[in-house]
A = this chain, B = another copy of it.
Amino acid sequence: MTDLAYVNGQFLPAENAVISINDRGLQFGDSVYEVVKAYGDKPVLMDEHILRLERSAHALNISLNGIIEEIDRIVPEGLQRTGFSQTIIYIQLTRGTQPRNLIFDKTIKPNLIATFRPYGLDLASMRSNGIKVSLYPDIRWAHCDLKTTNLLGNVLMKNKANDEGCFEAILFTEDGRVSEACSSSVFVVKNGVLLTTPSSENILPGVNRKYVIDIVAPQLGIPVREEHTFKDDLFTADEVFLTSTTFLVMPVIEVAGQQIANGKPGPITMSLVEQFEKNIHN
A28 within 8 A of partner (CB): yes
**CB nearest neighbor in B for A102:** B158
Verify if A5 is at the interface (C-beta below 8 Å from B).
yes
Classify chain A's interface size: 35 or more
Cβ B5 vs Cβ A21 within 8 A: yes
- Would A102 and B154 be within 8 Å (CB), given that A17-B20, A18-B21, A21-B5 are in contact? yes
Interface string of A113-130 (1 = CB under 8 A from B): 101010000000000000
Q: Does any Cβ of B come within 8 Å of A86's Cβ?
A: no
Contact with B along A6-47 (1 / 0, CB 8 A): 010000001101111111111111110100000000000000
Assess A152 versus B148: contact at CB under 8 Å? Given A19-B26, A20-B18.
yes
Cβ-based interface call for A182 (8 A):
yes
Does B152 lie within 8 Å of A182, measured CB to CB?
A: no
User: Which single member of B100, B137, B149, B182 contacts A29 (CB below 8 Å)?
Assistant: B149
A155 within 8 A of B: yes
- Is the C-beta of A183 less than 8 angstroms from some C-beta in chain B? yes
A158 to chain B, nearest CB (A): 4
Asked if A143 contacts B149 (CB within 8 A), the reply is: no
Interface of A is mostly: mixed
Closest to A18 in B: B18
Q: Which chain B residues border A5 with CB–CB below 8 Å?
A: 21
B29-A7 in contact (CB<8A): no
Q: In this assembly, does A141 line the interface, its C-beta being within 8 Å of a C-beta of chain B?
A: yes
Would you give the shortest CB distance from A140 to chain B, in whole angstroms? 5
A residues 75-100 near B (Cβ < 8 Å) are 90, 92, 94, 99-100
Q: Quick check: A26 and B28 within 8 Å, CB to CB?
A: no
Q: Tell me the smallest distance from the CB of A29 to a CB of chain B, in Å.
A: 4
Partner of A151, one of B28, B90, B155, B156: B28
- Asked if B27 contacts A92 (CB within 8 A), the reply is yes
Known interface pairs A104-B159, A162-B103; A152-B29 also in contact (CB < 8 Å)? yes
Selected contact of A21 from candidates B14, B141, B148, CB within 8 Å: B14
Contact sample, A vs B, 9 pairs, CB 8 Å cutoff: A18-B21, A26-B26, A26-B149, A29-B151, A30-B152, A102-B158, A141-B141, A141-B152, A141-B153
Q: A18-B19, A28-B149, A102-B151 are in contact. List 9 more A-B contacts (CB 8 A).
A: A19-B20, A26-B31, A28-B151, A29-B29, A104-B155, A137-B142, A139-B143, A141-B152, A143-B152
Closest 3 CB pairs of A and B: A29-B29, A18-B18, A139-B142
